[in-house]
Structure 1
Amino acid sequence: MRKYGSAALLLLVGAAVLRVSLFSELYLRYVQAGLRPYLIASGALLALLGLVRGTLTARAAREGADKADGRGQLEHAHAHAGAPRVAWLLALPAVALLCFPPPALGSYSAAREEAGRAEKFVGTFPALPARDPVELSLAEFGSRAAYDSGFSLRDRTVRLTGFVTRDDDGTWYVTRLRVACCAADATAVMAEVRGVRAPETDTWVTVTGTWFPRGRLGSAAAWPPVLEATYVRPITEPTDPYEER
């Protein structure tokens, strides 16, 4: 069976990649939506290579069986040759991805994000839609709160979506992770929430409220922005848990 090891590993990895990219939306926990075609192509290619490898190995075995019995001991030795058993440890990540895909990044990853924010250019932003509440990404809410000299958030009701994170002092935030390519380059964006009790950490929520100004525009004191909340509603984790950069 060991001689089929490389073929089995290729098939396993290919199946794992196809499982998260072709047959589900789980790939969105790890990479941007635009990379889906490349994942599908990679998974299909790995699975195809595994089938080809298995077919060639089986053919070689049949041809070897037809040879003279005098070479039996040599064939027996070749049958037991191959990669060491420890190589099968390479299959563990594929099995984990196939059977137990890890969750999206959460509060632990957000906590590792540096709190300091460099000052950015302060200027005016495009007008918001007239209807309240206005749905904003956390990145847009933070940018307008910290850098918009036109104060477009003033007297507006906004709705933010993210997961719950906390400080040691009990302050809580609605948080989202932003990715440019994949989960490996994720950075956190957040808004402090006041006025309502926080759900459990890592719970996904939508929070409705109004912006509470603080600090000078463009300064570190303006970050993170504050939302005076009037309503918080737990929700299920979105299919795509990240915001694009």
Structure 2
Amino acid sequence: MKRNIQVLLLLLSGAGVLHITLLTEVYLRYVKEGLRIPLIVSGVLLLALGMVGAARDGFPFAKPTAEEPAEHADHDGDHGGGGHGHGHSSGPRIAWLLFLPALALLFFTPPALGAFTAARESDPAVSEDARFAPLPDRSPLVMPLSDFQARARQDTGRSLKGRTVRMTGFVTPGEDGGWYLTRLVLSCCAADAQSVKVRMHGAEAPQANSWVTVTGSWRPVGEVGTDSARAALDVAGMRRVPQPANPYADAVPPTA
């Protein structure tokens, strides 16, 4: 029984990993895009190990091994012969819980991290030696939120002044009734996600977690180059957009 559970776990886990990496793009909700190949290799290895185990044990019609009578004998001895193997029955019941993550990869698509996570993170400290490359000469200027936030808080040259920018993200409600345009930045996987938020002014807050593209101009808040500076935008236009296949954003280095 225990070996059957192990084989099933290997097969289901391998199939689940390959499902989210080869047939869908769900893996992007867990890890960065660059980790797709290692995930595929891992899924293939899990399937291979499961098939080897199934062939070795005759799964799913595994026969009792030579060790099983001895294990039952020891168990009965420990309980005076009156236990009737209740310890062996509780073990497999608990082991079945291990199937839940494997089945989730196949049949359940969890949502990406969103406003709940972002609302609980504060702005990072300002770097004192940040340098920025010149911005392209086009309008509106399409920018990642991470680049806009870094320039709004650290660029003492004020390269955002007078520029019309366009950014895309999801809505995070603020504590005072305002709202933020937000993206989550991954270093490796969802476990280390950090939020990048830009405060929106001049537009009513859409529904939390909805994705929007906004166009507007930089609103200076605080003293640039210090921790008092905040990233903010005066919104001139906004439209709803579908959530992108990759809801997370890679970190954009602020220095040139």
Specify the TM-score bucket, using the shorter chain as the normaliser: 0.7 to 0.9
Code of the aligned partner of 2:125: A
Closer, same or farther: CA 123–13 of 1 in aligned 2, 3 Å:
closer
Residue identity over aligned pairs, in percent, reads: 46
Q: Deviations over 1:174-223 (max 9, x none)?
A: 00111100000011111011111221000011111010112111222212
Matching residue of 1:197: 204
Question: For 1:111-150, what aligned pairs fall within 5 Å after superposition?
Answer: 111-115=119-123, 117-121=124-128, 124-150=131-157
Matching residue of 2:112: 104
| Structure 2: distance between partners of 1:139 and 1:127 | 16
Closer, same or farther: CA 123–183 of 1 in aligned 2, 3 Å:
closer
Code of the aligned partner of 2:30: Y
Matching residue of 2:57: 57
SS of the counterpart of 2:238? strand
Alpha-carbon RMSD across the aligned residues, in angstroms, is: 2.7
Aligned length: 235
Matched-pair contact (CA < 8 Å) for 1:174–1:190: yes
Code of the aligned partner of 1:217: V
Q: Which portions of structure 1, spanning 4 or more consecutive aligned residues, are displaced by more than 3 angstroms?
A: 59-64, 80-83
Matching residue of 1:5: 5
Matched-pair contact (CA < 8 Å) for 2:57–2:63: no
Matching residue of 2:247: 241
- What TM-score results when the alignment is normalised by the length of structure 2? 0.83
Matching residue of 1:156: 163
Extract unaligned runs of 5+ from structure 2.
73-84, 252-256
Q: Deviations over 1:104-153 (max 9, x none)?
A: 100111012134x4232255521111111111111100111111122111
Query: Is residue 90 of structure 1 aligned with residue 98 of structure 2?
Result: yes
SS of the counterpart of 1:128? coil
Match of 1:230 among 217, 224, 236: 236
| Structure 2: distance between partners of 1:134 and 1:91 | 48
| Structure 2: distance between partners of 1:91 and 1:24 | 21
In the TM superposition, residue 164 of structure 1 has moved relative to its aligned partner by: 0.1
- What TM-score results when the alignment is normalised by the length of structure 1? 0.87
| Structure 2: distance between partners of 1:41 and 1:191 | 38
Matched-pair contact (CA < 8 Å) for 2:4–2:60: no
Extract unaligned runs of 5+ from structure 1.
65-70
